[in-house]
Amino acid sequence: MSDAVSRLRRLTALILKGFLLLGTALSLVTVLLIIAYITRDALPFFKLRGPGELFTSTAWYPSGHPPEFGALAILVGSGLVTLGSILVAVPLGIAAAIALSDILPYRLRQTVKPVIEILAAIPSVAYGFFALVIFAPLLQNRGGSLLAIALWLIALPLGLLLIFVVTDAATRSIRADVALTARLILAAVLAVILVRGLLALSAKLTLLRIASGTNALNVSIILGIMALPTIISVAEDSLQAAGRELREGSYALGATRAETLFKVVIPAAGSGIIAAVILGVMRAVGETMVVWMASGNAAQIPSPWFNFLSPVRTLTATIAGDMGEADQVTGSGRYHVLFALALCLLLTSFVANLASEWVLRRQQRKLGGLK
């Protein structure tokens, strides 16, 4: 009787294993097929037009007579938007993950985390609609003041923190009875300089007029927000995984909370945090709907190149936007150029994945050596 049950169990296990293997194999084969098909349709473009034009020219006129396929501006646009979303998402995401795992009380975390994860469930077209209909006009009408407020929100706490650290370091070697006064005076002077500087800068920013609200800044912020749940969730998990023992060990050795966080917990969770960042960034790179709706889609390199207030065009939006007409002319440059762009996108994510894999491996080896 029990023999039959165990045999049945073994059989079920075998079948389930088979299913799982099939599933894994299926996704692997899918990836390989995608790479193969995209490469197959991308190569004719380089045969047709040569490799130079795509990467060196900024003239993107796929429907012109004759057509021009210079995607340099599009590659720069994708890069710029990615950079922008990294600047928004990475500091915010990691800070939020640290706050959730080590600073906020447990009960608050239990309510905040699901709320953050809801962000991931909002469809991208909703984000795009928000970016186009609400955020873009807001940037046009109140862009300057918004930027000034953002400047204060970011620079004031950071600056104060910096002043705190600098004064502490500068007065450390002075005799204790003078140190406090010296420190206060130094801090006051630095604080005045900081506030003055911020006032001047924000006055300048307030006067700034943003001509078009559908620009790199708009999508960078939106994509940054879209990448946040991924980054927070994965980074927080890896911070949690660093374990209670590690933290308690650090405290037992007399480390402060800050020391424990920055010198023990974060290095231990480093690989997970980097993986979180790469996952989040890949979400931003691959996002299509938001950039198609709200980046302006102008195939130009902003001048100067870091001008986030200028409309840009990205790889994903170009592929999505030009697909409709491209299929009519199968075999033409206009059709194959989209696959060439897709190949660029695929290679980027492939390299990023390899990089994250490499970082993870290295980190594991390092930690393994410590153990």
Partner 1 sequence: MKIFKTLLIIALAAGFLGAAEANKIVVDGSTTVGPIAKAFAEYYMKLNPGVNITVSESGSGNGAKSLVNQSCQVATMSRLLKLNEFEAAVHSEILPVVHVVALDGIAMIVHPGNPISKLTLNQVKDIYLGKVKNWNQLGGPNVPIVIISRDTNSGTYETFEGKVMKGDKIAKNCEYVGSNGAIRQRVQSTPAAIGYVGIGFIDSTVKALPIDGIMPSLETVKNGSYPIARPLYMVTNDYPKMGSHLYRFVTLYLSKKGQAIIEEIGFIPVTSY
Tokens standing for 285? Answer: 């790179």
Residue with tokens 């049945």: 8
Residue 3, CA distances (Å) to 7, 9, 10, 16, 79 in order = 6, 10, 10, 20, 62
Running DSSP on this structure, what letter comes out for residue 327?
A: G
Closest approach of Cβ 288 to partner 1, in Å? 11
Judging by DSSP bridges, how do beta strands 60-61 and 68-69 pair with one another? Answer: antiparallel
By CB under 8 A, the residues from 167 to 186 that bind partner 1 are: none
Q: Measure the N-to-C terminal CA separation of the chain; round to a whole number of Å.
A: 47
Single residue of 214, 288, 314, 363 touching partner 1 by CB under 8 A: 214
The rounded distance, in Å, linking the Cα atoms of 51 and 55 is 7
Tell whether residue 81 is a contact of partner 1 (CB under 8 A).
no
**Under rule CB under 8 A, residue 58 binds partner 1:** yes
Is residue 327 involved in binding partner 1 (CB under 8 A)? Answer: yes
Is residue 299 part of the contact set for partner 1 (CB under 8 A)?
yes
Instruction: Indicate the residue among 58 and 353 with the shorter CB distance to partner 1.
Output: 58
The answer to whether residue 63 forms part of the interface with partner 1 (CB under 8 A) is yes
Contact status: 310 vs partner 1 (CB under 8 A): yes
Q: Are 113 and 249 in contact (CB under 8 A)?
A: no
Q: Cβ of residue 145: shortest distance to partner 1, in angstroms?
A: 17
Is residue 331 involved in binding partner 1 (CB under 8 A)?
no
Closest to partner 1 by CB, 132 vs 284, is 132
C-alpha–C-alpha distance, residues 158 and 254, integer Å: 27
CB of 65 to partner 1, least distance (A): 6
Task: Point out which span in 56-64, 114-122, 233-241, 247-255 binds partner 1 (CB under 8 A).
Answer: 56-64
- Contact between 209 and partner 1 per CB under 8 A: yes
Contact in structure between 276 and 97 (CB atoms under 8 Å): yes
Which residue in 311, 340, 341, 345 binds partner 1 (CB under 8 A)? Answer: 311
| Residue in 213, 229, 280, 333 binding partner 1, rule: CB under 8 A | 213
What does the block give as tokens for 358? Answer: 């490499």
Our finding on whether 272 is near partner 1 (CB under 8 A) is: no
Torsion of CA 284, 63, 49, 320, to 10 degrees: 20
* Shortest distance (Å) from residue 337 CB to partner 1: 12
Helical axes 333-370 vs 315-326, angle rounded to 10°: 150
Least distance CB 126 / partner 1 (angstroms): 15
Q: Quick one: which segment of 52-60, 76-84, 269-277, 352-360 binds partner 1 (CB under 8 A)? A: 52-60
* Nearest-approach distance from CB 88 to partner 1, in angstroms: 22
Minimum Å gap between C-beta 276 and partner 1 is: 32
Does residue 132 belong to the site contacting partner 1 (CB under 8 A)?
yes
Q: Is 300 in the site for partner 1 (CB under 8 A)?
A: yes
Measured CA distances, 82 to 87, 284, 310 (Å): 9, 6, 15
Q: What is the CA radius of gyration of the chain?
A: 26
Q: How many residues bind partner 1 (CB under 8 A)?
A: 38
Instruction: Give the span between the Cα atoms of 215 and 220, in whole angstroms.
Output: 9
d(CA 222, CA 219): 5
211 lies in the binding site for partner 1 (CB under 8 A): yes
72 binds partner 1 (CB under 8 A): no
Instruction: Look up residue 192 and give its two tokens.
Output: 């005045």
Smallest distance from partner 1 to CB 128, Å: 10
296 counts as binding partner 1 under rule CB under 8 A:
yes
Closest to 314 measured CA to CA, from 356, 280, 342, 347: 342
Using the rule CB under 8 A, is 126 a contact of partner 1?
A: no
Cβ-based neighbour number of residue 236 at 10 Å: 26
Chain residues binding partner 1 by CB under 8 A are 58-65, 73, 132-133, 136-137, 140, 209, 211-214, 292-293, 296-300, 310-311, 313, 321-329
